[in-house]
Structure 1
């Protein structure tokens, strides 16, 4: 079990300690559930009222909130409690599942595939022809990587993920369970003779940058031609759809159940809230925010926040909702 003193934690966080303690800390927990050997945190004023009744052995708190609490629990005072807790979570992160052997004899690796040093490949994995795994790639059991793919250094791919042919994945990525990369895009047209729908073949690929994390059961479809691109540092939640020919800039965030239709472009640092949907051939410029549950039907300017269905400027939409509520009370 991992255990750290208050002084060790303070050194890691560059935190000010309100009072000393000899307690050893073995983990983290919520304020209302933490025990004396656990650390909790306060990053918002609304939680300060829970401090006095908490059983935590120490509390990480924003420096601008420390005046709101009083009591005997030692404080670790930092500039940003959320970022401090992220460091602590990494400190207490459990060890990854073990591999009995680095490359299982129950995995299939095509003779023309290249596997870099330090790779780990679990049982049931399939690595296709001419695919290249760089150094330190980890494939947990039952991962499929088809032909002519490239996987960057120290990328980790969890069980059930399928990476289709010709996909390019950068370094230090994390794909969680059952991610789908490079499946056909969704394209059909009515047949000339009225007999049904004609499938539009997609011959492009997917390119994913460095440091991208994609949550469980999310899909990134290959392009009709050229490439679907997910830029460096993007973070994609579970159950997200990124359709064919989309282009995401650097460090975009997409929350769960959100989706991009075909040929959507996101600038750098765009945030898409949960269950939001973006119309095809739309551009959302850098720094824009799409609120949860919104439906974007047209381009969004840089830095703008939009809300509602259809999505409009968030301030205008909130005023509209307020006016509607007043009408209901009239």
Structure 2
């Protein structure tokens, strides 16, 4: 269930009512009541899940979801006790279903007295604080920043000017520099007959103690699970951390790095500037990613990778030297022929 501090729950529906609203067909269980959406692996008896890729067929068979949305070809794989809907665009149907059950809490301004732990909290002119937000002792919030409804901010934090924080739980001694965007919707779209539709992002951002986020950097909230940045990790300016990423402790991430969705990064990992990481990549403890690298495969612990596509640095350098020699040899041959 999405965090009630950030999402309102809407009334339950029967599976048949839901099918009519999302354009799906009922196979069985139309009178069952459902009240939330969830992924296959974590769904419960009142949740709606979906199968969008055959790779997750085993999860479909094992799911505890009360209702599943599947392509017609996968009906026989659905659990016998689950209600079943069919759709030629299962993920898009699930996205529509989420809008029937979950709605982001509307931002209504609260007073500083309601949110602050004590009078050591300082807010500069133009700050907006949402209802249900809590701000710890000794924290300072810069001018024109927006702290969303339900956001929890720890003690001795520094929030710079023009920062927005939503759908987030923030630890102690966290620094968010000017223009940082924490908790915006992650980039998710599902194909449908009418074109791509946004997949609602129902997760949170968790920034643990001592994290630093540089100016104009973005950390998106999870699609359903949380985006997490571990203790004492330092992130430079203009960095993008996508939804569902889990970043370990004591990592260093230089400017212009982009980490795609659902990546897992271990502790003490270093990223050089402008490195790009593909989605669902795992990077082990103590690894290093050279500046400008394009990572398309998992990196084992302790290794240094570089290049595009990124490879262990010695291999990458050998290939670069070989390519340079080949190019130089062809250039000399061309001059000789002239």
TM-score, length-scaled by structure 2: 0.64
1:39-72: CA deviation from partner (whole Å, max 9, x where unpaired): xxxxxxxxxxxxxxxxxxxxxxxxxxxxxxxxxx
RCO higher in 1 or 2 (8 Å CA, sep ≥ 6)? 2
Distance 2:133 2:227 in 1: 19
- Corresponding residue of 1:168: 169
Matched, 1:309 2:308: yes
Question: Cα offset for 1:113?
Answer: 2.7
Number of aligned pairs?
221
Distance 2:243 2:112 in 1: 28
Distance 2:175 2:168 in 1: 15
Which 4+ residue blocks in structure 1 deviate beyond 6 angstroms? none
Question: Cα offset for 1:110?
Answer: 6.4
Question: Cα offset for 1:272?
Answer: 1.1
The Cα RMSD (Å) is 1.4
**Contact 2:145–2:162 (8 Å) recurs in 1:** yes
Question: Cα offset for 1:112?
Answer: 4.4
Question: Cα offset for 1:111?
Answer: 6.7
Q: Aligned runs of 1:130-169 on 2, under 5 Å?
A: 130-164=132-166, 166-169=167-170
Matched, 1:205 2:197: no
Matched, 1:282 2:281: yes
Distance 1:116 1:234 in 2: 28
**Contact 2:116–2:137 (8 Å) recurs in 1:** no
Question: Cα offset for 1:119?
Answer: 0.8
Q: Secondary structure at the match of 1:323?
A: helix
**Contact 1:251–1:268 (8 Å) recurs in 2:** yes
Q: Greater helix percent: which structure?
A: 2
Distance 1:308 1:324 in 2: 13
- Corresponding residue of 2:57: none
**Contact 1:108–1:125 (8 Å) recurs in 2:** no
Matched, 1:267 2:266: yes
Distance 1:116 1:169 in 2: 17
Q: Secondary structure at the match of 2:183?
A: strand
- Corresponding residue of 2:121: 119
Distance 1:113 1:329 in 2: 66
**Contact 1:237–1:256 (8 Å) recurs in 2:** yes
- Corresponding residue of 2:189: 188
**Contact 1:222–1:245 (8 Å) recurs in 2:** yes
Distance 1:116 1:258 in 2: 37
Q: Aligned runs of 1:32-51 on 2, under 5 Å?
A: none
**Contact 1:110–1:129 (8 Å) recurs in 2:** no
Question: Cα offset for 1:116?
Answer: 2.8
Question: Cα offset for 1:327?
Answer: 1.6
